Amino acid sequence: MNIPFLDLKTQYNALKFEIHAAINEVLQNTAFSGGPFIARFEQEFAKFCGSKHAIGVGSGTDALWLSLLALGIGPGDEVITVPNTFIATAEAITYCGATPVFVDIDEKTYNMNPALLEAAITTKTKALIPVHLFGQSADMDQIMAIAKAHGLYVVEDACQAHGAEYKGRKAGSIGDIGCFSFYPGKNLGAYGEAGAVVTNDDSLAEKISMYRDHGQAKKYYHGMIGWNARMDGIQGAILSVKLKHLPVWNGSRRKHAGAYKKLLAPSQTIIKPDETADTTHVYHIYAVRIKQRDRLMAFLAERGIVCGIHYPVPIHLQDAYRCLGLKKGDFPVAEKCAAELLSLPMYPELSSEQINYVAQEINIFNA
């Protein structure tokens, strides 16, 4: 049996007629950049997230960067985040001229450890970026309380957490701003690059809308120096189609995660994902931890099972961030997890037979 890590084609085939109709509507209306299809998706996504505003942008990276710019983050400022995320989280900070500062993670959830925040805050700190890694929300009560006590902004990196919940509230709707990526492999994925920002703040929404469109609120009248970070019409139309299916898809992911949890035999060597009582995990990634990660990955590949690693090198150890002067051992939990995490196949269209086969082969490896 051959099981890909991700199967976008099966999902596309199930939606083919809806997708083609949506694209054809954009073509017929020649609404390729901005326009009614973006506006419609923004309204739908804001409602889905429980936020007042959603602003469509070109990518999740754009969402993070423009959010920080709108908050006034710039040279001399520090923004605290985690080292075990995709580099875009740190890049957005750097591109504002600010400095990324890292705190280690909780070993069970792989999210920001709020207990370490106070020690990392300085007079230069302006914002916190918790990352809802793999589809599970960070501990937002503690993070928000610390931010409020120190007068800091909170930007939720919800790029992997479309539809995840924290105490009944959607990820991205709790901080000052929430940022989403619609990269094709995400729980809600476009057919190209796209992203969005959600917020309840009218002023921030207006600023981000202007930043994404060369700083203009009215065509050819530029109130600020902005950028071209617009979402294109075809992506907006596709995302409107797919958003209707997202709750069912997330339910399937949770069902698959439950099956993995049940079928993977109890073991001293493998650690399954932990879902906290306060959260609804949407399992963008189903990652197990095992010290013999590379051996297991090769073992499964020989049996037709493709896995992934998220992420093999923490940001503070990347060559791109050597300038920060950080070293191995500075964030031991993140480093330990980076060496042990293995992402198993996870997508709504997985069959019971496929999940059984993956679990069976892992159990054989661990026997």
For 83, other C-beta atoms within 10 Å of its C-beta total: 27
- pLDDT, tens only, 225-281: 999 999 999 999 999 999 999 999 999 999 999 999 999 999 889 999 999 999 999
Quick one: how far is CA 251 from the chain centroid? 18
- For the segment 120-143, the average pLDDT, to the nearest whole number, is 98
DSSP code, position 44: H
Query: Do residues 133 and 110 lie in contact, with contact meaning Cβ atoms separated by under 8 Å?
Result: yes
Domains of the chain: 8-243 (3.40.640.10), 246-366 (3.90.1150.10)
Residue 209 scores a pLDDT above 90: yes
Residue 367 scores a pLDDT above 90: no
- pLDDT, tens only, 156-192: 999 999 999 999 999 999 999 999 999 999 999 999 9
The pTM of the full predicted model, rounded to 2 decimals, is: 0.98
Give, for 195, the enclosing helix (H) or strand (E).
Answer: strand 195-199
* CA atoms of 84 and 73, how far apart (whole Å): 22
Half-sphere exposure of 286 (CA within 13 A, CB side): 27
Query: If we measure between CA atoms, which residue out of 361, 263, 351 comes closest to residue 305?
Result: 361
Query: Do residues 160 and 186 lie in contact, with contact meaning Cβ atoms separated by under 8 Å?
Result: yes
